[in-house]
């Protein structure tokens, strides 16, 4: 069966060394070269609509669909131009991007710090235990409050943070089982996982070509592994930081300090205001 990515994006190959990869990327690939982030995400959304997922998954939410206006605003405000560091998450959480359309989208952080608001629609099929209240949702997302809280503490303003960083989820879909529990993309059967990953890999690679980061940090091991697979051959270094989830005991021990330590180890030095010299 032809992969989803084959009709979403033209094939991407690099035949030279890492230093030549960006210049070679997209040779003969007019659908990617120069593509803006909104277009990349819209094409990913269109391709994923063709996929079907079976038990134990009973409900699939796509914030790129019902929360598109806010997600598009996020991309337009903060996703233009080159970035030093791309922070890569796994997929939406039920109290984060599922509610706001923004990666790690804790409602308080998205509205209060990022300054993003808007009307959020509803998934085609809603799980009774996983409602979508949009910006009226009163439940916070720990992962988002930790990640964006670190960014606010370090950079003070979103504009200063996004001068150097961008935050993206690898997969835009959220999967629920009949009991309301999340099912992460890596737990899907191969017949569903492989075309999903193929499409998400192509979109990530296209975003990397647009943003041209020198460093990609996977937020969690899954995101790191997908970055290594999707960005193979590009002149980009890849690292990881422990996931800031409330279910991760390590994240409860000063996650912001752990994030700063990872950045220092990878050569990205920040002063109190986040304005230290760029990575070497």
What CATH number does residue 231 fall under? 3.40.470.10
> For position 248, what pLDDT does the model report?
86
Residue 238 within a domain: yes
Domain count, the chain: 1
Q: What is the pLDDT of residue 273?
A: 55
Largest Cα–Cα distance in the chain?
52
Query: What single DSSP character describes residue 3?
Result: -
pTM, 2 dp: 0.86
Domain contains 224: yes
Q: Are 145 and 260 in contact (CB under 8 A)?
A: no
Q: According to the model, what pLDDT value does residue 24 have?
A: 34
- Assigned domain for 272 exists: no
Q: Do the domain assignments include residue 277? A: no
Tell me, what's the pLDDT at 31? 43
Instruction: Record the tokens describing residue 55, joined without a space.
Output: 């038990």
65 located within any domain = yes
Q: How many CA atoms lie within 13 A of 19 on its CB side?
A: 0
For 89, the token pair is 């998450």
Q: How much of the chain exceeds pLDDT 90, in percent?
A: 79
Query: Is 165 within a domain?
Result: yes
**Sign of the alpha-carbon torsion through 14, 168, 63, 90:** positive
Q: Cα 27 to chain center, whole Å?
A: 26
Q: pLDDT by residue for the chain (280 residues), tens digit each?
A: 333 333 333 333 233 333 333 433 333 233 444 579 999 999 999 999 989 999 999 999 999 999 999 999 999 999 999 999 999 999 999 999 999 999 999 999 999 999 999 999 999 999 999 999 999 999 999 999 999 999 999 999 999 999 999 999 999 999 999 999 999 999 999 999 999 999 999 999 999 999 999 999 999 999 999 999 999 999 999 999 999 988 888 888 899 999 999 999 999 988 655 554 344 4
In a domain, 31, yes or no: yes
Determine the number of helices (DSSP H) and then strands (DSSP E) in the chain.
Answer: 12, 6
Please give the residue range of the domain that contains residue 231.
Answer: 18-264
In a domain, 256, yes or no: yes
Look at residue 235 in the predicted model and tell me its pLDDT: 95
């Amino acid at each position: 069966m032809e992969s989803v990515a084959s009709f979403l994006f033209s094939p991407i190959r690099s035949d030279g060394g890492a230093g030549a990869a960006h210049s070679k990327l997209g040779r003969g690939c007019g659908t990617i070269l120069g593509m803006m982030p909104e277009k990349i995400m819209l094409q990913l959304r269109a391709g994923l609509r063709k996929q079907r997922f079976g038990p134990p998954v009973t409900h699939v939410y796509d914030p790129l669909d019902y929360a598109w206006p806010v997600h598009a605003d996020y991309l337009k405000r903060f996703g233009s131009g080159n970035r030093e560091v791309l922070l890569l998450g796994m997929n939406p959480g039920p109290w984060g991007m599922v509610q706001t359309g923004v990666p790690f989208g804790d409602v308080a952080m998205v509205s209060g710090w990022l300054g993003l608001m808007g009307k959020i629609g509803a998934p085609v099929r809603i799980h009774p235990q996983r409602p979508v209240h949009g910006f009226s949702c009163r439940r916070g997302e720990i992962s988002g409050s930790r990640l964006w809280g670190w960014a606010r503490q370090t950079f003070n303003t979103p504009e200063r943070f996004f001068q150097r960083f961008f935050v993206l989820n690898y997969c835009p879909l959220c999967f629920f089982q009949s009991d309301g529990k999340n099912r992460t993309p890596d737990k899907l059967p191969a017949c569903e996982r492989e075309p999903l990953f193929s499409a998400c890999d192509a979109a990530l690679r296209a975003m990397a070509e647009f943003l041209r980061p020198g460093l990609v940090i996977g937020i969690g091991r899954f995101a790191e592994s997908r970055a290594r697979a999707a960005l193979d051959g590009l002149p980009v270094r890849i690292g990881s930081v422990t996931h800031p989830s409330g279910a991760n005991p390590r994240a409860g021990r000063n996650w912001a300090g752990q994030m700063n330590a990872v950045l220092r180890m990878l050569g990205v030095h920040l002063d109190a205001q986040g304005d230290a010299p760029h990575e070497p």
